[in-house]
Amino acid sequence: MAAARELQARLTKPAGSLGALEELSVRLAGLAGACPPPLPTPAAVAVFAGDHGVHAQAVSGWPQEVTGQMVANFLAGGAVVNAFARQAGASVTVVDVGVATPLPAALRTEAAHPDAGVPDGGVPDAGEPGAGVPGSGAPALVEANVRRGTRDMTVEPALTRDEARAAVETGIQVAERLLDAGAKVLLTGDMGIANTTPAATLIAAFTGCTAEQATGRGTGIDDAMHAHKIAVVRAALDRHAPDPADPLGVLAAVGGLEHAAIAGFILAAAAHRVPVIVDGVIAASGAVAAAAFAPDAVAAMVAGHLSAEPGAAVALTHLGLEPLLDLGMRLGEGSGAVLALPVVAAAVRVLHEVATFDSAGVSEK
The residues assigned a catalytic role are 333
Exposed / middle / buried, residue 203 (Cβ in 10 Å: 0-12, 13-18, 19+): buried
Q: Reduced to 3 states, what is the DSSP secondary structure of residue 26?
A: helix
Cα distance between residue 70 and residue 78, in whole Å: 9
Q: What residues have CB less than 8 Å from 96, skipping those under 6 apart?
A: 49, 50, 71, 103, 141, 142, 143, 144, 145
Residue 296 is given by DSSP the state: G
Q: Are 109 and 139 in contact (CB under 8 A)?
A: no
Whether the bond between 124 and the residue before it is cis, its omega within 30 degrees of 0, is no
Q: Is 225 exposed, middle or buried (0-12, 13-18, 19+ CB in 10 A)?
A: middle
Classify residue 101 by its DSSP letter: S
Give the three-state DSSP class for 345: helix
Q: What residues contact residue 299 under an 8 Å CB cut-off, 6+ apart?
A: 27, 30, 31, 270
Q: Write down the H helix ranges in the chain.
A: 2-10, 20-32, 66-76, 80-88, 161-180, 196-207, 211-214, 223-240, 247-254, 257-271, 281-293, 310-319, 335-353, 357-360
